[in-house]
Amino acid sequence: MANVLELEAAIALRQAARRDGRLVVLTNGLFDLLHVGHLDYLERAGNLGDVLIVGVNSDLSARTFKGPGHPVVPAPERARLLAALCIVDVVVIFDEPTASELVRALQPDVYVKGGDYTNKPWPEREVALATGCRVELIPILEGHSTSTLVQSILAAFGRQPDVG
C-alpha cells in the first residue's frame, strides 16, 4: 500500500510537488462502499491538477460524522481501494470530524467537495481559502450514492433499511 501515507509523508510529497511546479488537488470523504459515483467524482477532481490526494475519514471519524453502523468497510480497506485507482496518487486517513486540519497541513492548490455541499456548511472551505487555495464544487453523478446502493442491496434481499 505505497499510496496510503501518513500525514507527514503526504506533506513531504506535497512539498516536492510544489517544488516541481505541480498542482496538488485535495478532496476527502468517507468513500464507504465504493461505487461509480465516487469514481466519477474522483476523476473530475483529479483532472483539476497534477496530483490527487484523497483524505479518508477514519472509522471513528465516520461514526462521529454518520452515526452508528458506519462505516461498513473499515478505513484501511477503503484507503487501499482508493489508492488502487489510477486517478488517485495518495490517500491519507484522518481522525478529525472534518478535514479542516488536513487542508491546513497539506495546503493544496485546489480543494474539492461534491456538489451536494452547495447548500450545506463545510468548514474546510474557510480553511482552504485562508491558505490561498482555490475551492471547487463538483457536481455529483445523479442516482449514484452509497445510500442508493445500500437501498438496492437491501431491496434485493427483501429487507428495509433501518432508519435512525
Locate cell 478529525: which residue?
96
- Give the distance, in angstroms, between the CA of residue 27 and the centroid of all CA atoms in the same chain: 5
Does 65 map to a domain?
A: yes
pLDDT, tens digit only, all 164 positions of the chain: 459 999 999 999 999 999 999 999 999 999 988 888 899 999 999 999 999 999 999 999 999 878 888 899 999 999 999 999 999 999 999 999 899 999 999 999 999 999 888 888 888 999 999 999 999 999 987 766 666 666 666 667 877 656 54
Q: How many domains does one find in the chain?
A: 1
Does 139 map to a domain?
A: no
Cα–Cα distance for residue pair 44/51, rounded to 1 Å: 12
Specify whether the CB–CB gap between 31 and 8 falls below 8 A: no
Does 27 map to a domain?
A: yes
Cα–Cα distance for residue pair 88/91, rounded to 1 Å: 7
Range of the domain at 24: 1-114
- What CATH number did the domain enclosing 97 receive? 3.40.50.620
Element (H, E) at 27: strand 24-29
pTM of the predicted model, to two decimals?
0.88
Kindly calculate the radius of gyration of the chain based on its CA atoms and give it in whole angstroms. Answer: 16
- Give the distance, in angstroms, between the CA of residue 79 and the centroid of all CA atoms in the same chain: 10
Phi-psi region for residue 69, left (φ > 0), alpha (ψ -120 to 50) or beta?
left
